[in-house]
């Protein structure tokens, strides 16, 4: 599932599971989960340091690496879908938002992004909702990018969230033809708040939908799933950790770094120790139709 690419559309007769078939469970200390809540509190504006436009909220690999994404929590009223985009250096150089927006509807669809040379899209969590909150994910549920195959040094990794796209058996805007699904990207200038002339180097105000920070050798990733500046701007609608083997491969990524020796921060820095090194395969219940938030 994690390796399912946009080009591999499923037929209407086929159904996705809400949880990937290849998910495995990594143990996360409960104190760590509580610490994440203090960094990205519900219904509160996120610390502006995480959204500094000087930071690039996309991952740059400094070495060949195996990369995984671990579900931590979600605070959304929607059943959102999380995926990733691999892109080469310079893939967006010279491209404005309108260059990518080929149908001119001011929304960048996944099909439009997939048409950009040097990009490759993949699916992570069809329904990025927690158990008891419209979904089946448990903290610690983890999937690999690229089917667990090594990604090359110099590869950039972005993420996208499709708002309320999970129908119970498929994903609007992914395995269903473009239906105007709202997609938010870590590539700022592709977001709905960006002007037509926005570029990757000049995306404009309020176009960021991802709060990211280095925590030791991992990266904390939190999505905001409402058009900004409306909504609560808490960036905790889908919260994940990105990890790599070797961990040093994430070092070149230019995002906020946690240094302050506060208790919550110390817990976050202990993330690597909180993840047990032996992953346990998780038993996945059959997908449920309907019953969302």
pLDDT in tens, 28-54: 756 456 556 666 544 445 455 666 778
List, as one string, the DSSP characters of 138-188: -TTEEEEGGGGPPBPTT-EEEEEEETT-B-SSSBBTTTB------EEESSG
Q: Which two tokens stand for residue 152?
A: 């090359």
pLDDT in tens, 143-167: 999 999 999 999 999 999 999 999 9
* 41 contacts 234 by C-beta, under 8 angstroms: yes
| Backbone dihedral angles phi then psi of residue 25, each to the nearest 5 degrees | -105, 125
For 132, how many CA atoms within 13 A lie in the half-sphere containing its CB?
A: 3
pLDDT at 236: 77
**How do strand 66-73 and strand 210-215 relate by DSSP bridges?**
unpaired
ω before 246 within 30° of 0 (cis)?
A: yes
pLDDT in tens, 9-30: 444 445 789 999 999 998 775 6
| Backbone dihedral angles phi then psi of residue 249, each to the nearest 5 degrees | -65, -25
CA dist., res. 293 & res. 291, Å (int): 7
* 58 contacts 186 by C-beta, under 8 angstroms: yes
Of 57, 244, 63, 68, nearest to 154 by C-alpha is 63
**Poorest-confidence range of 23-37, 76-90, 215-229?**
23-37
pLDDT at 231: 62
Judged by DSSP in three states, 222 sits in strand
Q: Label residue 3 exposed, middle or buried (CB < 10 Å: 0-12, 13-18, 19+).
A: middle
SS3 content of the chain, % helix, strand, coil (to 5): 15, 25, 60
pLDDT band at 230 (very low <50, low <70, confident <90, very high): low
The residue to which tokens 């999970």 are assigned: 166
pLDDT band at 227 (very low <50, low <70, confident <90, very high): confident
Judged by DSSP in three states, 1 sits in coil
Those residues whose C-beta lies under 8 Å from the C-beta of residue 37, and which sit 6 or more positions away, are: 73, 236
Is the pLDDT score of 264 beyond 70? no
pLDDT in tens, 176-202: 666 678 999 999 999 999 999 999 999
Is the pLDDT score of 284 beyond 60? no
């Amino acid at each position: 599932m994690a390796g399912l690419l946009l080009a591999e559309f499923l037929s209407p007769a086929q159904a996705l599971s809400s949880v990937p078939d290849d998910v495995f469970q990594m143990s996360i200390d409960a104190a760590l989960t509580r610490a994440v809540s203090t960094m990205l509190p519900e219904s509160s504006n996120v610390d502006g340091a995480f959204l500094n436009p000087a930071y690039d909220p996309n991952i740059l690999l400094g070495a060949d690496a195996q990369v995984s994404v671990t579900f931590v929590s979600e605070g959304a009223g929607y059943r959102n879908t999380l995926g990733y985009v691999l892109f080469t250096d310079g893939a967006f150089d010279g491209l404005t938002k309108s260059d990518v927006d080929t149908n001119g509807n001011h929304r960048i669809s996944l099909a439009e992004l997939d048409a950009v040379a040097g990009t490759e899209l993949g699916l992570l969590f069809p329904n990025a909702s927690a158990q008891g909150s419209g979904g089946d994910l448990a903290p610690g549920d983890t999937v690999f990018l690229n089917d667990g195959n090594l990604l090359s040094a110099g590869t950039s990794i972005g993420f996208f969230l499709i708002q309320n796209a999970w129908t119970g058996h498929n994903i609007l805007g992914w395995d269903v033809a473009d239906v105007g699904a709202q997609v938010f990207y870590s590539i700022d200038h592709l977001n709905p708040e960006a002007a037509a002339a926005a570029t990757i180097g000049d995306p404009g105000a309020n176009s960021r939908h991802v709060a990211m920070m280095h925590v030791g050798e991992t990266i904390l990733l939190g999505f905001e799933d409402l058009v900004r500046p409306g909504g609560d701007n808490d960036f905790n609608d889908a919260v994940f950790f990105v990890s790599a083997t070797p961990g040093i491969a994430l070092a070149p990524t230019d995002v906020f770094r946690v240094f302050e020796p506060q208790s919550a921060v110390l817990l976050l820095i202990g993330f690597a120790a909180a993840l047990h090194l032996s992953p346990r395969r998780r038993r996945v219940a059959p997908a449920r139709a309907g019953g969302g938030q």
